[in-house]
Structure 1
Amino acid sequence: MAGRGRGRGKTMSFNVEMLGFGRGETLPAPVQQPRPIYPPQIYKPVALKEGEDYEYMLALKQEFRGAAKKSPFYLNYSEKKRDVERYSDKYQLAQQESERKWIPDWRMFPAELKPATRRKIKSNIKPNLKKARVTERDKEDIVKKLEILETTDSKTEDKDKEDDEKDGEEKKKKDEDGEDIVDEEEIFDDEQLEEETDYGQSYFDNGEGFGDDDDDGDEGPVY
C-alpha cells in the first residue's frame, strides 16, 4: 500500500486537489483578515410551519420552560460574590425563594401523603360585640316580663316581712316564758342548796345535857 513501509513509498497518502490547487501550483498567500462571523450558507433552512397547532405547541413550550425555572428543583448557576453587596440583593433572593415554593395539586395525590395542618389558637379572642336586632314585639315582651318580675318581687318581700315579724313575736314570747321558768328554777335550787349545806344546821350547845350519858344507871355519892 502507498505511504507505508519504512520511508520507501513515493506516493502521497491524500489527493492534493482536495486542498483547492493542483500539482505544481504554488500555495495561496496567507489571509490576514479574521473569518466572517456568519459564513454564507450553502443550503437555506427549511421554512417554519405556521398554524394554530404549532402556535399552541410553542405557547405550551414557553410556559413549561418558565414553570421549570420557577420550580424549586431548578438548579441555578452559582454566581460569584461581589466585593460590595447591594441592599436590594437580599430582597430579590427572598422573593425568588418564595416564588419557587412548590405547592402541589393534592387532588392528584392520595390523602395519606398530604401533611396535616395545625390551626393556631388565638390567645386574644375578642367577644362577639354585634348588636342583636330588637323588634317592637321583643320590646313589648321584655316590658311584660319586667312587670311580672316586679310584682312577684314585691309579693315575696311582703311575705318575708310578715314571716320576720311573726318570728320576732314568737321569739319574744319564748324569751319571756323562758326567763320566768329560769327564775323559778334558780330560786328552788338556791333554797335546796341552803338546806343541804352545813350553814343551815345549828351546832350551838349550852351544856345542859353534859354528863347525862356517863351515869349509866349507877347512883353514886354526889359531892
Structure 2
Amino acid sequence: MAGKGRGVGAFTFNIDALGIGRGNMPEARVGPSPLFPSTDFKPVPLKAGEDEDYMLALKQEMRGTMQRLPYNIKPQSNKAEVERYTERYLKQSQIDDNEWTPDWNLFPKELMPRRKRPQAKTGTKKSAKISRKDTENILTKLDELANKDDPEKSDEETEKKPRNEDEEEIEEEEYEEEDIEEENDYIESYFDNGEDFAADSDDNMDGEATY
C-alpha cells in the first residue's frame, strides 16, 4: 500500500478482485483487550471435606520430609555479613547430612558406592636379584652341612684342595718360563744392531760407485 499525497493512505490494488468487500474488513480496536478471555468450559468446583483435607495434609508433610532428606540438593545462598540466628541450626543440619548413612538393604546394588581396589600390573614384577656374596655364603653353608654329615669325606677333600692348589701354581710357573724363553729366542734371531751393515765398505772405496 502506498498513500497518494497527504492524508489517509489508499490501496494501490482493487480489493474487490480478491472477493473482499469494504464491510468485511475487521473494525479498528478502540479500547484495551479484556484481561481474561471468555471460557466456554468452566472448571469443576473443588471438593471440600475431611478426606480432602487429610490428603492435603499428607501431601504437604511428604513434601516437607523429602526436602529435609540429605540427598535433596539444596540451593546455596549467598553469605550475608551478619550471621542470622537460624543459620546456626542450618549448619548443624548440613553436618548431619554429611554423616548420613543410608540402609543399603532398601536400595539396589547398582547404587552402592564401590571402592577402587589397586590392581596388580601384570608383567612388571621385579625379579629378585641375588648377589655373588649371597650365593657364596649359601654354597659355603651347604658345604659345612655336608661335611657335618660325612666327616671322613671332608678330611679327604681338605687334603685334596691344597694338593690341587700346589699343582696349579707349578703349572703356572712352568708356563711363564716357557713364554720368557720363546721371547728371548725371537729377540736373538731377529734383532739386528747394525754392526754388520756395510762391513766391506772400506775395501771397496777405490772401486766404482754402487747405487
Q: TM-score, normalized by length of structure 2?
A: 0.29
Task: Compare CA radii of gyration and give the structure with the larger one.
Answer: 1
- Which protein, 1 or 2, shows the higher relative CO under an 8 Å CA cutoff with sep ≥ 6? 1
